[in-house]
Chain A
């Protein structure tokens, strides 16, 4: 069974940094693109970032471009999201998302999410 387990969320002050991780199992990790989707409290889903299977191509929403960096370690079946210059509006549950193939379109499996709270 596909499993995605996020970690790294927590409380951080504005301007601070945080690194999220997502450990994947149940599939051949490097054969699939991966991504992050977030959901602010009481709000809808927002696409954040995607990365290709090999890690050579990355994509970002305008709201996080220049502040967030997505990466992956295929030897450890792990996806990362390095977040810096955090703002209050980055407060959200961050979900790890598996793509159905090497392309970055669509999401077939989701993690349970990790909560990031940005507040002074």
Chain B
């Protein structure tokens, strides 16, 4: 069974740090681009970052550049998101998602976890 399970969320004060993890199973993790997306309470979806299957390309949404770092460990079938200098507006459910790439502009998020909640508040 294909599964993505996020963990590491919680309550953190503004300016604090948190590291999210995503454990993958049931598919060839090391062949997938992987992503972090988030959803603020009652709001829509926002893509946060992604990483190439071998870890050598990484991209971020402008609002997290310099604060968040995406990484992966293919030997452990795991994806990570290190979040530093957290702000109230980072409060959201964070999802990891696997990306199927058919062509440069023909791709989609095929595999999703259930998410982990990050709350940034004093």
Q: Do A and B bind each other?
A: no
